[in-house]
Amino acid sequence: MDWEQTWSRSLPYGEFLATHGEARHQERWQRMYDQLALKPEERALLATFARRMHLLCVAGAWCGDCVLQGPILQKIQEACPALEVRFIDRDAHSDVQDALVLNAGRRVPVVVFLSEDFQECGRYGDRTLSSYRRMARERLGPACPTGIVPPDDEYTAAVTADWIDEVERIQLMLRLSARLRQKHGD
């Protein structure tokens, strides 16, 4: 997959929602965004990242998991100058989704972590570990919640921490990359 070319077809957060979300979807994403707040230590950590990263999120504005995770990714981007997040609609770009099939399914959201020069560094999705732990504990509800009722703050904080851990893992991979250390002289 040519990730740089795919990146050129992706959209920033607001444009993605305006293009692919109905008013009811946009309202759910906004409500979640307004509920989110990164902890001071999370903001401090994200501000230290030096290596440029691109996060390409394959999503659906209609998807309840995306309603939670999309705004989290946007908040992380806002706290991290080295990070740029873009979104691409699963249904409008089936070629991308086909390249990211998980467990024989077209799941969303899935994030592809890319270096500054669009080399793939990792993939993460469709749900974080905290999400799967909660689902296993509760053993109820649809496979993909609607996003109509926002999750509680404790759960949201756990999912946010999962995403920050994964962003940090990729940042450290990039900081320790011999190829990029030679390029940047660090």
Residue 141, CA atoms < 13 Å, CB-side half-sphere = 17
**Domain range summary for the chain, segments of one domain joined by +:** 3-184
Residues whose CB is less than 8 angstroms from the CB of residue 150 and which lie 6 or more positions away in sequence, other chains included = 31, 32, 35, 156
- Cα angle for residues 168, 172, 175 (degrees, 5° grid): 135
Model confidence at 20: pLDDT above 80: yes
pLDDT in tens, 111-137: 999 999 999 999 998 899 888 888 877
Model confidence at 146: pLDDT above 90: no
More confident site: 136 or 92: 92
pLDDT category of residue 3 using cuts at 50, 70 and 90 = very high
Question: What average pLDDT does the segment 49-62 reach?
Answer: 97
pLDDT category of residue 11 using cuts at 50, 70 and 90 = very high
> Residue 125: exposed, middle, or buried by beta-carbon count in 10 A (0-12, 13-18, 19+)?
buried
* Architecture of the domain delimited by 3-184: 3-Layer(aba) Sandwich (3.40)
Question: What average pLDDT does the segment 48-71 reach?
Answer: 97
Length reported for the chain: 186
pLDDT category of residue 176 using cuts at 50, 70 and 90 = very high
Positions of E strands within the chain: 53-59, 83-89, 110-115, 120-125
Whole-model pTM: value is 0.90
